[in-house]
Structure 1
């Protein structure tokens, strides 16, 4: 049995795409997912599963959300064992404030040409760094006002992505170690 983390994008934000986490846990548990737990209301799910790829698991979760809650939502699944590396590869070690450091996790690796073009962007008080599956974001201001937001990254890189702050990533790591 392998541990995974699923990140749902854009649920329970501004009254749209509402999903109660207890109901989501029940749907997943009754459809073959093991030891399902959630963290806060923004669609962070820890679970165990056998012999499926992260993309297959994401597709299954997406299908279950649509069937049970009536809408589609982007889903990113990663093996829990990947989380320590993602956190350790953070190039912004001096920025440890969770409200200024964000991780935009990429569902697939973007084309090199799109990454190269993206690296030309510069915004005041915003910095970023790429790895193959994550864009690390550091802000001196507020993420709500950031130009380097999830929609911008998805639009420019042409990949699905979802963003979490440092505090959430650290908590997911802690929960995945249990």
Structure 2
């Protein structure tokens, strides 16, 4: 039995640095034995099927293959389609009423991200921006977009994310990855 996954690569193809062409990412995933490989945009999103049920091992294998091929480390997270669907369905904000650039999901590498980690932030100081925590995900409402979000910048401070990898996607990308994983299962 195979499972459909999305791979979320952190910090590639930004500002001309750490280039990972999507054609090469697809080829690496195929060489790792995965099927139905597709990529979305040029920012490190891939969907694939695998017989493995170990998301962490899949992420580690992909990260190692990327480092061997490109010569630099790329943090990777792998999440199955059912999890991505649950992230979409559990959104605490009125996603259907918002533009995709106003809502973001930050995915974490582990479950150790709790409200205590962000207790030093005063939510009222960032209004109308808001965030909510979910299962290994942080939902961020940034009406002006992530590029100008003061709350987004505060949430990504290294002291708050110590010991955990994080990568963000706008809501349009989250929806597209859910659609792609569901289409691959059909």
Q: Out of 137, 142, 147, which is 2:150 matched to? A: 147
Q: Aligned pair 1:96/2:98, yes or no?
A: yes
Q: Aligned pair 1:116/2:116, yes or no?
A: yes
Paired with 1:151 and 1:71, the residues of 2 have a C-alpha distance of 27
Paired with 1:3 and 1:150, the residues of 2 have a C-alpha distance of 32
Paired with 2:153 and 2:112, the residues of 1 have a C-alpha distance of 14
- Greater CA drift, 79-88 or 118-127: 118-127
Contact 1:154 1:161 survives alignment (8 Å): no
TM-score scaled by length of structure 2: 0.87
Counterparts of residues 125-164 of structure 1 (less than 5 Å): 125-149=128-152, 152-153=155-156, 155=158, 156-158=160-162, 159-164=164-169
* CA displacement at 1:24 relative to structure 2: 1.1
Contact 2:37 2:48 survives alignment (8 Å): yes
Deviations 1:58-92 (A, max 9, x none): 10000010011111011011111111110111111
Consecutive unaligned residues of structure 2, counting only runs of 5 or more, are: none
Contact 2:52 2:58 survives alignment (8 Å): no
Paired with 2:18 and 2:147, the residues of 1 have a C-alpha distance of 19
Runs of 4 or more consecutive aligned structure 1 residues displaced over 4 Å after TM superposition: none
The alignment partner of 1:42 has SS state of coil
Q: Aligned pair 1:60/2:65, yes or no?
A: no
TM-score scaled by length of structure 1: 0.91
Task: Indicate the residue corresponding to 1:30 in structure 2.
Answer: 31
Q: Aligned pair 1:177/2:182, yes or no?
A: yes
Contact 1:76 1:107 survives alignment (8 Å): yes
The alignment partner of 1:60 has SS state of helix
Deviations 1:31-74 (A, max 9, x none): 21111110000000100111241110110000010011111011
* CA displacement at 1:132 relative to structure 2: 2.6
Q: Aligned pair 1:7/2:12, yes or no?
A: no
* CA displacement at 1:23 relative to structure 2: 1.1
* CA displacement at 1:147 relative to structure 2: 2.7
Consecutive unaligned residues of structure 1, counting only runs of 5 or more, are: none
Contact 1:150 1:161 survives alignment (8 Å): no
